[in-house]
Amino acid sequence: DAGITQSPRHKVTETGTPVTLRCHQTENHRYMYWYRQDPGHGLRLIHYSYGVKDTDKGEVSDGYSVSRSKTEDFLLTLESATSSQTSVYFCATSRGIGANEKLFFGSGTQLSVL
């Protein structure tokens, strides 16, 4: 998966607890993304980053925060997990942004909030 590592691969947590998912890339790509994938909804963008400490919201950003302190790492935090955040989370990277740029995806994190 093009040098993109997500951790953990699986996580089970309880409602109300904080959760942090990590994405690490070795591609030196400027842009990094967090998507969530749910049945019937496809992939929806949560947040993305266009550089160190530069981030922006996506379509479904409520309840999520992100941080990027280094080019290679992009963290997704659920401040207080809810059952509606049970999903598969994918990190992706790209050299640039827009319709010309292809995305490279990690293998995903399956998160269950009980």
Partner 1 sequence: SQQGEEDPQALSIQEGENATMNCSYKTSINNLQWYRQNSGRGLVHLILIRSNEREKHSGRLRVTLDTSKKSSSLLITASRAADTASYFCATVSNSGNTPLVFGKGTRLSVIA
Number of residues engaging partner 1 in binding (CB under 8 A):
29
Q: How far is the CB of 45 from partner 1 (least distance, A)?
A: 5
- Does 11 bind partner 1 (CB under 8 A)? Our answer is no
Measured CA to CA in angstroms, residue 7 lies from 11, 32, 96, 107 at distances of: 9, 15, 24, 9
Q: How far is the CB of 102 from partner 1 (least distance, A)?
A: 4
Asked if residue 66 lies in contact with residue 19, where contact means CB atoms within 8 angstroms, the answer is no
- Does 3 bind partner 1 (CB under 8 A)? Our answer is no
Asked if residue 7 lies in contact with residue 111, where contact means CB atoms within 8 angstroms, the answer is no
Give contact residues for partner 1 (rule: CB under 8 A). 1, 4, 31, 33, 35, 40-45, 48, 58-59, 90, 92, 96-108
